Amino acid sequence: MLLAAGSLKRDRFSLLLLEPGEIYFEDFSATYWPVEQPEKCLKGRLKLCSKSVVFEPIAVEHPLIRIPLKSCSAIREHKDLINVKPSIAISSDIVIEMLAKNVPAPYIFKKQPARHVFELIYAKVDCCLPKLHQLHRASTFLSPNEQNIMISTMVYSMQRRVKFDLSWLEDLKELPVCELQGNKITPLMVNPGRVLLTEKRLYFQPYNNVEAFPVLKIKLEEIQAVSKRRFLLQHIVSDKTSNDLCAFSVFYVSGLELIYRDSSLFLSFRKTKDRDALFSLLQKSAKPAEDSEAMTRAWRSGAVSNFDYLMFLNKSADRSLNDLSQYPVFPWVLSDYSSCDLNLEDPKSFRDLSKPIGALNPNRLAALKHRMNDTDGDSPRFLYGSHYSAPGFVLFYLARRMPEFMLCLNNGRFDQPDRMFNNVEETWRNVWTNHADFKELIPEFYCGEGDFLVNSLGVEFGKKQDGTQVGDVILPAWASRPQDFVDKMRAALESNYVSENLHKWIDLIFGYKQRGEEAEKACNIFYHLCYEGAVELGKVSDPNEKYALETQIMEFGQVPLQLFTFPHPAKSLHPIPRPLASSSGCEDGDNEDGWVVLETPNKSPPRWVALEAVSAHALHKFDVTSVSGAGNIVCSTSLDSQLKVFDWKENCQLRSASIGVVPLAKCQTLPDGNSVVIGSWDKHVHVYDVELCRVTGSCMVHEDAVSWLEWDEDLLVTGSWDSSVRLWVMPALDSIDGGYKLPRVPDDLVAEWDCDSRVVTCSVRRRNRVVMAGGDDGSVALWDLVSHADLLRTRAGNDDGAVSGLMLSADGRKLLMATRTGRLALCDLRMRSSAFTKDFNPGIAAFYWAESDSVCILGSDSGDLIVWDMVSMGPLAHVTAHDRGVTCLAVSEEQEVLFTGGRDQRPLKSHVDGLEESWLSF
């Protein structure tokens, strides 16, 4: 789901209940006394807004009432000898009732003279009556544009007097860097406030209390990307108009969008220099922007899916999920919505991506050309009278998910039932034939669960002319349910045909056929106000003309920023297919006895497919926490505080050592096969010498349990429950009598990083200059080994499952991560985007990525080993390795032996590929 669903809260008031662009100032605790029915008094909140007053009753069964100021004949103080409390009386001809019983429904417009009395419980009349009078005069005597200018002037004056409340700082020692006026932009809503930047955080404090939180706080280290955004088809306001009335437009045209954690913040500013100053400061903390050329190369090679690439292009072209006038645009890729079975191998199932949607039907195109040629020579020539992406079209698709957005856009009404998005096939037929319908699709058609197709809120949209009630969207015959529809649409988007032709559609929307002579040749000409640079609002002197242009730009639709001036290259390889979630699995069991199991992949091709069991041994009393091998030596640790050393070639145990009295978390056998580095819950790292049969050194490295460690060349990285990752230098080995080398513990702390939760896994790659860590809340962090700066902070999944493993590709460009809840994800580090995700059930306890073979070995909580093909995104083999959960696995340096640890106490079960099922007991 890309745009947040409109779930209704008990606190029902929102900016969506106002006119688009209307400003909400403040509210007062009040009692509402309808003069005609005084017995129906209601307690609630009186909201003072720029074009109306709104009363929100506490009791949700009663509707909110909105009184437009332009409909008011009188607003004055109400004096009653019996009731001496301060009150305001409003006489109006129109009252609008909204959200009765807290259910989204068309507003009820009561057009009759009425008198309303609002008794202020705590405030005085003088607190709001003068401002009400001022706003009332603006609504009654001024034109819409003059009214907006006056309101904007009032807002500007108020904002200049208000400063950020420093008591809301997360840390009172934070030093402010800059403070600005700005607007928070969300779909159809503009909320003004103060923007404060400190050396640690970015804050947004609205002037009102309509937001869920009084202050939005964003850590600078959490900001993943920051981008300049245009608003109303422009990035700048002319300096010549900065002090005149045009500068008081209700729209702040200089935009800035931040991506942080799993969210985003869209801000707009009155002055471009303010936006640019904040952008420069934030750039120092944010991650480097994606390289457009590198992203295109990754897409062409198949490392990035068609969906992710289109989202990247939309973002680069100033399309944002926070702006309905510039919402991401996606193509109709299918033309077959009537067949019972969808054939993605047949080119006839697809739409011609080399033509704009309006040029697909030759008869309609001929009629449109005829109309264009008959246009007056002084008027701008255009083929299409409507756009392919506009706020109305976005909400046409999303009306069931967010009915309150449609009510806001349509002045409190739903669209006519027969004109709503009722049937996918009919909608496609309409964009194929109708002379005024050229809309493309939105991302929701290709991702998510398809909830926008279902009237899950039970909204009464009305009845169509045939008497049927508007309900769920009727799907094509080839789709069994909404999720199936979205899955097949995504499969079509990632299909061979679309991959081979998508660059042609990109040329039309983002590329060299977007405008100019090439656009005319491609029949891709829209109304001139859709294009950036067609009109400079700052140079429009007539206020009414300026207001009309702003409104038309907002409502008609905007062409994306042109990204390419030359033909876009075609995709040379097919992308990674989108994996489907697995539904198989079983419940994990509880057992306190552990095993170490040794298995070897069959050398006959395909490698890794046939895992043939070698031996199984009950070495520990409790769960095995780690295994590590070097040469013919394999070591294991356990919750029983024991270290076991085993010779897998001789099939015999060499050593059994008690390392303290607390559980051991992780061990790693050094390349010489004689030294073992061990991380313990006693906060120490121990070094064990196999030949001498003793611990040769110990060092306290954390303030809490050591949960993981990994050694690479002369570096050792350790992670802990104290939420820190530390990097140490492993000094050279000391010589003793006989020339033997004695391992030493780390004694030089190189760097330290803080995490948001307990560290459960970490890794260091000297070759790639990267240190990685995963937390028990699913968080993943990467740091530069040299500069120690943050490279990436993300999550391994959408849940809070602990990270069970991290592996970096040989070239350092991709990161494979897994969680205990079953999420396997591959992240492209250069693009900062996900190449694919896969959900397994039950969870993944450990994995190994054999990158050269394009295979991943997964150890699950059910005790199974899954050999997963990273190219075809399907299982190659499924082997039962343990009767209970796999806890850890490792592979020898030669990749000839796979070691696994588990929690079972039963004979090993294994399945050998290519044979009928065989059971091997030990």
Confidence grade of residue 230 (pLDDT, cut at 50, 70, 90) = low
- Please tell me which residue, 198 or 789, carries the higher pLDDT value: 198
Q: Let me know if residue 219 belongs to a domain.
A: yes
Dist CA 272 CA 291 (whole Å): 25
Q: Let me know if residue 799 belongs to a domain.
A: yes
Dist CA 549 CA 552 (whole Å): 5
Angle at 411 between CA 41 and CA 186, to 5 degrees: 95
Query: What average pLDDT does the chain have?
Result: 81
Q: What pLDDT shows up at residue 632?
A: 81
Q: Let me know if residue 547 belongs to a domain.
A: yes
Q: What pLDDT shows up at residue 251?
A: 44
Which segment of 103-112, 437-446, 532-541, 587-596 scores lowest on mean pLDDT? 587-596
Q: What pLDDT shows up at residue 921?
A: 25
User: What φ, ψ does residue 313 adopt, rounded to 5°?
Assistant: -65, -40
pLDDT tens-digit series, residues 502-533: 999 999 999 999 998 999 999 999 988 888 76
Q: Let me know if residue 724 belongs to a domain.
A: yes
**CATH code: domain of residue 336:** 1.10.1540.10
Is a pLDDT exceeding 70 seen at residue 221? yes
- Is the peptide bond between 288 and the residue preceding it cis, with omega within 30 degrees of 0? no
Which segment of 280-284, 372-376, 536-540 scores lowest on mean pLDDT? 536-540
Percent of the chain beyond pLDDT 90?
35
Dist CA 70 CA 68 (whole Å): 5
Dist CA 193 CA 796 (whole Å): 34
What mean pLDDT comes out for the span 864-893? 81
Q: Which of 451, 453, 465, 454 is nearest to 427 (CA)?
A: 453
Q: Let me know if residue 596 belongs to a domain.
A: no
* Residues 400, 328 share a domain: yes
pLDDT tens-digit series, residues 130-176: 989 989 988 888 877 777 778 877 777 777 788 898 988 988 889 99
- Residue 852 contacts by C-beta under 8 Å, 6 or more apart in sequence? none
Q: What pLDDT shows up at residue 150?
A: 80
Is a pLDDT exceeding 50 seen at residue 242? no
Q: What pLDDT shows up at residue 634?
A: 86
Q: What pLDDT shows up at residue 82?
A: 56
Q: Let me know if residue 518 belongs to a domain.
A: yes
**CATH code: domain of residue 90:** 2.30.29.30
Tell which of 86, 114, 141 closes a domain. Answer: 141
Confidence grade of residue 364 (pLDDT, cut at 50, 70, 90) = very high
* Residues 368, 468 share a domain: yes
Confidence grade of residue 9 (pLDDT, cut at 50, 70, 90) = very low
Q: What pLDDT shows up at residue 503?
A: 95
Q: What's the distance, CA 89 to chain centroid?
A: 47
Helical residues (DSSP H) of 629-687, grouped into ranges:
none
C-alpha pair distances (Å), 1 with each of 4, 453, 840: 7, 12, 21
Confidence grade of residue 472 (pLDDT, cut at 50, 70, 90) = very high
Q: Is 688 left (phi over 0), alpha (psi -120 to 50) or beta?
A: beta
Which segment of 139-148, 289-298, 340-349, 742-751 scores lowest on mean pLDDT? 742-751
* Residues 445, 365 share a domain: yes
Q: Let me know if residue 566 belongs to a domain.
A: no
**CATH code: domain of residue 695:** 2.130.10.10
What mean pLDDT comes out for the span 875-882? 81
What mean pLDDT comes out for the span 447-464? 92
CB 282 within 8 A of CB 220: yes
* Residues 68, 137 share a domain: yes
Q: What pLDDT shows up at residue 610?
A: 66
Task: Quote the number of domains for the chain.
Answer: 4
Query: What does the DSSP 8-state code read for residue 872?
Result: T
* Residues 104, 37 share a domain: yes
* Residues 238, 336 share a domain: no
Is a pLDDT exceeding 90 seen at residue 542? no
> Residue 774 forms beta bridges with which residues?
761, 780
pLDDT tens-digit series, residues 565-597: 889 999 874 333 333 232 233 333 333 334 444
* Residues 446, 362 share a domain: yes
Tell which of 825, 844, 863 closes a domain. Answer: 844
Is a pLDDT exceeding 70 seen at residue 241? no
Is a pLDDT exceeding 50 seen at residue 914? no
Which segment of 82-96, 222-236, 443-457, 652-666 scores lowest on mean pLDDT? 222-236
* Residues 274, 332 share a domain: no
Confidence grade of residue 539 (pLDDT, cut at 50, 70, 90) = low
Q: Which two tokens stand for residue 764?
A: 């260091």
- Please tell me which residue, 345 or 850, carries the higher pLDDT value: 345
Q: What pLDDT shows up at residue 613?
A: 67
pLDDT tens-digit series, residues 53-79: 999 999 888 999 999 999 999 999 987
Confidence grade of residue 205 (pLDDT, cut at 50, 70, 90) = very high
Angle at 461 between CA 456 and CA 465, to 5 degrees: 130
Confidence grade of residue 812 (pLDDT, cut at 50, 70, 90) = confident
Range of the domain at 733: 617-844
Is a pLDDT exceeding 50 seen at residue 652? yes
Q: Is 613 left (phi over 0), alpha (psi -120 to 50) or beta?
A: beta
- Residue 263 contacts by C-beta under 8 Å, 6 or more apart in sequence? none
Is a pLDDT exceeding 60 seen at residue 6? no
Tell which of 289, 317, 346 closes a domain. Answer: 289
* Residues 326, 236 share a domain: no
Is a pLDDT exceeding 70 seen at residue 706? yes
What mean pLDDT comes out for the span 761-784? 90
Is a pLDDT exceeding 70 seen at residue 780? yes
Q: What pLDDT shows up at residue 297?
A: 81
* Residues 633, 517 share a domain: no
Annotate 332-388 with three-state secondary structure. Answer: CCECCCCCCCCCCCCHHHECCCCCCHHHCCHHHHHHHHHHHHCCCCCCCCCCECCCC
Q: Let me know if residue 562 belongs to a domain.
A: no
CB 772 within 8 A of CB 815: yes
What mean pLDDT comes out for the span 885-907? 75
Q: What pLDDT shows up at residue 586?
A: 33
- Please tell me which residue, 596 or 90, carries the higher pLDDT value: 90
Is a pLDDT exceeding 60 seen at residue 824? yes
Is a pLDDT exceeding 90 seen at residue 554? no
* Residues 119, 83 share a domain: yes
Confidence grade of residue 85 (pLDDT, cut at 50, 70, 90) = confident
Q: What pLDDT shows up at residue 386?
A: 87
pLDDT tens-digit series, residues 33-56: 877 676 678 999 999 999 999 999
- Please tell me which residue, 41 or 872, carries the higher pLDDT value: 41
* Residues 232, 349 share a domain: no
